[in-house]
Amino acid sequence: MLNCKNFFSQLRARGFDFFCGVPDSLLKYFSVYIDGCHGGPYRHVIAANEGNAIALAAGYYLATGRVALVYMQNSGLGNCVNPLVSLMDQKIYRIPVLLMIGWRGKPGQYDEPQHLKQGAITPELLKLMGIPYAILPNQITEATKVLDRACNFMKVKEKPYALIVEKGTFMPAEPLRKSQESYSILREQAIRSVVEELGERDIVVSTTGKISRELYECRRELKHSCDADFLVVGSMGHASQLSLGIALQKPKRRVFCFDGDGAVLMHMGGLATIGVCKPGNFKHIIFNNGAHDSVGGQPTAGFFVDFLAIAKGCGYKTVLRVEKHKELKNKISILKKSKGPALLEIRVAKGARHNLGRPSLSPFENRRLFMKFLK
């Protein structure tokens, strides 16, 4: 396995001093390592989405003439196809960037359903975009050779180059950045508090990651049917628009979107669309812990932005925030009664319990039961 310090030193020795991207579980040790102060001056930016990260790298190159490193999960390739082919490509501006891509869903390895298709097409997608790649070796000597080959290629061709990272490539590394402010409400407790207040015909759409897993476990514990819940796997940042599509077609039923801070930040323009459409039955709940909880706990900008002010500016009729458990039931009651679009931000503690399960329903079975419930 690669020692993060050794690999990072090799990157710094080759002039890399700007790193950005969106956290991934396969890259979590690398990203938490560079998030501290290691080895001299450099800049690390956790971007809202992968396309933003590519644009950041392009701006850095235009300003300095040096190549940036952009890291992401392979699902994030979908978010950055456009800037890679319409901005960075050799036929356009010829801007090199070193991509580090976590290979979730690699053929032959078990993974969650949302990663299987993307895992199968990752190499082919890079080929289709004309981006050469190499699988990053897990030994430093061989990794250095691959890194030299990538740097030489980018210098000569002025094109992006990708390093595909398999599971278990990096050794564990401890984060050095101090934890942001934490809150006493556990997200799983908050989800249960909301679920206990839902009506029989209320509809729930939950974002990808641990929020959907906790919702599923809560329903089972309470012996509720899961038919009212659409558990989004993958498609990070799109739960609110999926909820909006349902809310517009089911105006007499309340639609609750269970969202995360990282997911909202990834495609925050969706709030404006919700405000324009003015769905009176739309109830948006952001469980904000200031972290990418499902992929390693790297920080988001969730505690640095004012979601209430943003939602209000986008046309939400009601905006609420709760930070203490004793206030939670009252705020949920107000949210239920408020004309939408309405938003409740619940500031919760980082982390989840270690024995958190996963839904036993397949995505297709979830869809079938959910559509039956909507009818």
Residue 113 banded pLDDT, cuts 50, 70, 90:
confident
Tell me: pLDDT of 144 over 60: yes
Average pLDDT (65-88) is 96
Tell me: pLDDT of 250 over 90: yes
Q: For domain 4-165, which CATH number applies: 2.60.40.10, 3.40.50.970, 3.90.1170.50, 3.30.70.3270?
A: 3.40.50.970
Domain with CATH 3.40.50.970 in the chain: 4-165, 187-374
Residue 106 banded pLDDT, cuts 50, 70, 90:
very high
CA–CA dist 278, 272 (Å, integer)? 10
Average pLDDT, the chain: 94
CA–CA dist 44, 35 (Å, integer)? 6
CA–CA dist 181, 178 (Å, integer)? 9
CA–CA dist 274, 284 (Å, integer)? 10
Tell me: pLDDT of 302 over 70: yes
User: How much is the pLDDT for 176?
Assistant: 58
Residue 177 banded pLDDT, cuts 50, 70, 90:
low
User: 304-335: per-residue pLDDT in tens?
Assistant: 999 999 999 999 999 999 999 999 999 999 99
Share of the chain above pLDDT 90, in %: 85
The CATH H-level superfamily of 187-374 is Thiamin diphosphate (ThDP)-binding fold, Pyr/PP domains (3.40.50.970)
Residue spans of beta strands (DSSP E) within the chain: 18-21, 43-46, 69-73, 98-102, 133-135, 161-165, 203-206, 229-231, 255-260, 282-288, 291-292, 298-299, 318-322, 342-347
Output the CA–CA distances (angstroms, integers) from residue 365 to 26, 58, 235, 362, 368, in the order listed. Answer: 28, 42, 18, 5, 5
User: How much is the pLDDT for 179?
Assistant: 55
Output the CA–CA distances (angstroms, integers) from residue 298 to 47, 142, 157, 197, 198, in the order listed. Answer: 11, 28, 34, 31, 32
User: 346-370: per-residue pLDDT in tens?
Assistant: 999 998 888 998 989 999 999 999 9
User: 238-249: per-residue pLDDT in tens?
Assistant: 999 999 999 999
